[in-house]
Structure 1
Amino acid sequence: MNARKLTTVLLVAAALSAAGYGLYKFGMNRGMGMSPAPQSAPSAQEAGADQATGRKVLYWHDPMVPGQKFDKPGKSPFMDMQLVPVYADEAGDEGSVSISPRVEQNLGIRTAEVTKGRLASSVEAVGNVAYNERDVAVVQARSNGYVEQLFVRAPLDQVKKGQPLAALYVPDWVAVQEEYLTAKQMKGPGTDGLVEGARQRMRLAGMTDAQIRGVESSGKVQPRVTISAPISGVVAELAVREGMTFASGAPMFRINGLSTIWVNAEVPEAAAAEVRPGTRVEARTPALPGTVLHGKVSAILPEVEATTRTLTARVELANPQQRLVPGMFATVSFTPAASAETLMVPTEAVIQTGTRSVVMVAQGQGKFSPVDVQTGRESNGQTQILKGLDLGQKIIVSGQFLIDSEASLRGTTNRLSGPVPTEGNQQTAGPTTHRAQGKVEDIDKDEITLSHDPIPSMQWPAMTMGFKVPVAGAPKNLAIGDTVNFEFQQTKDGSFQITSISPAGPSMQGMGDMGAAAIKHGAHTPAAMGDAKK
């Protein structure tokens, strides 16, 4: 080959090298989404701030290896690219979601402020009317005898205090009455003691003081005794009939008063903390339309219904005109004592994921971030916030599910807002192996430079970068220009090491090979082009 042809070949190679290098840098800038940084390192005064924007720089990092931080700008030690600054005003935005104003308007996002106030507590429950078991009178037989006549013949008959219930014949009372009248008619010293002894025997026989006075005033034996109702109410139990005998101590009548009644209200277990003895209530019943009955909780029964998971609140109410009877239904509204002021948000703003409660906080300029909150009671569409928010913060009330569905929100917040995995648990999980295809650009004892295709598992675009050689060293048959399939892992220091590499077939042909060869031999700079011309 003569000198003229050699010169022509060198010029063509230099031109192709320059074109290849230009395409390579353009692809790098487009793939990494950044402009090339100046080659000269800034001074120490420039290291803390960006002169162009005036924004404070916290640190520099390689977007492909975000875990490694650097205190000054420069070239990444992991691949052929400049380090990217992280500004102070962006450091806390990792977990936020940005939405343009137009999209925000289309989604119909509404916000509200975290307010402070008292929750208007109102607990309602359904109950049934029952007798007031503290207003009960039991009439028992005080001696053996017979029932001669009944004035109350059926259970649930209403009676008034002093109303006759039954006429009884008591033989034992006849004997003591005759003894008493005989002793009273006797004259002489010591008769007073006989009279008092006879009176005492009448008491022991079961006669009341009123019945004894009746015998004294009439001066006659009264073989039949009429018993009366001790209170007003309803005969709940009737245990005797006309003509039957009865023994001493046998129950005859059970009378329940109706001046007050109980309402046994079934209170949900979750609302039991708001209902206490003494809590005032309002009761309404279909039997008295338009009537509101006022009362208070007399007791909370220490038992939970296993089926309905409710507690029974015993409410005592006045019974006007005795129109409320056992078995009626009633709706009870409890009014707990006024609570202290607390932070509140609309209930619809709280997203319940099943394991935690999340609220989307508006940070301004179209940015929203999820915040874990601890909730308390709910009332009238308001939820108490115990922890996680501050007064005056703006939160999303509607549209938060359109920003991020509950499932994706759970994954996003766990990834962005959760604890950062430590080196220890990374080792426990094991390093991830990534696979790719590329072309060998250079080989030395510590590093193999590869021009690889996009790697989806790392979210990398196509680029040229260096990888540490395998632990066993580079394969003997590996040559520059070979197209290879390789696998690699990220090491503890943030670098990437090849774990396996094997030929994938013939390398690229044509102009790409010529440009790559020119780059490999150093003919990829304007200076090199000048040298080639010479």
Structure 2
Amino acid sequence: MKMTFDTRHNLAPAIMLALSLLLAACGNKAVAPEAKPAATPVADEETLVLTPAELEHAGLKVETLAPAAATATVNVSATIKPNQDRYARIVARTEGRVLSSPGALGMTVRAGQVLATLDSLAVGDAQLAYRQAAASQQVAAADFDRTRKLADEEIVPRRDLIRATGDLEKANAELRTAREKLRLLGATPATGEVAAVMAVRSPIAGEIVQKNASIGEQASSTEPMFTVADLSTVWIEANLSEELVSRVRAGASATAEVGALPGERFTGRVDYVAGALDPETRTGVARIVVANPQRRLKPEMFATVHIATGQQVPSVLSVPDAAVVLLQGQSTVFVALKNGYQPRPVQTGQRLNGRVVVTSGVSAGERVVVAGAYALKARLLKSQIGEE
């Protein structure tokens, strides 16, 4: 029996398979592989590598370490206070009712400027006494002139001239007393109608930092109505332990840093060191006078002060305070290498006027980042988070 085959049906699957293979090959040639973005340099275990853009943004500065002699400092916490030599609590010289109060909180005033006016019974009595003394003095002066002329002509006895002279001297003394009483009350002799108005003036130039005066209220001669402070200079007071107070001398230079003003340093000099310790705290006060022309230092701000003791420290390696950062609780500096920046744990010693002694971890001749260390720290932490 002869068998026959339908070649059309047998060839169809083979043709379909060949076509599918051909299309797949063509597709692979037509589609290019997806380009991957260039990798950003990241920190390895030893070195932190930055792109040019990151370097420019960080604003890094480096310093070559070299041993150098330095002056030892005392570093303590302190509090900013008003300069008490330029500070005035102003009270009324006598009781009275407040008529006006032009002095406002925060106002800058000049010496002698009127801050308030009072209606005072004591001032009214003093004005009346002055008027009476002035009238008596005029009568005594006229009587003296008339008696002197008569005595010169020997019309009246000499004893009348002596009496008139005594009366005039007494009247002059009473007038001076009345005028001085008005001055002490802050008033001046009234030329017209007797007035009982007294002016409250600022004795110094400065800024009104406290006000306790309202129109209509009764002012007291014991409670301050205004407080005026000249804050162009301030005092920074530090409490020193027994050991430290013996190392600080008046006239020593000092610098201060304030947490509220990061990155700023204020220079001044010690003008007073306590001669005795507080029996309760066992500390002595050192007072530093600091110029404050921009009024950036405010009373009661906290500060850290560095007071030069004058003692020379042997040659040591030191870096600016800003060069040292904390990484995992360890003091660290960044050392500049050819291929990047290496975080290096270090041991630190005493602070020396804005610098800190480095006792181990780096060597002389190495280049350390002194500006931009915090930017490097942030970049390092970011890369570590990315690896996790």
TM-score of the superposition, structure 1-length normalised? 0.36
Q: Which has the larger radius of gyration?
A: 1
TM-score of the superposition, structure 2-length normalised? 0.48
RCO greater where, 1 or 2, for CA within 8 Å and sep 6 or more?
2
Structure number with the higher helix fraction is 2
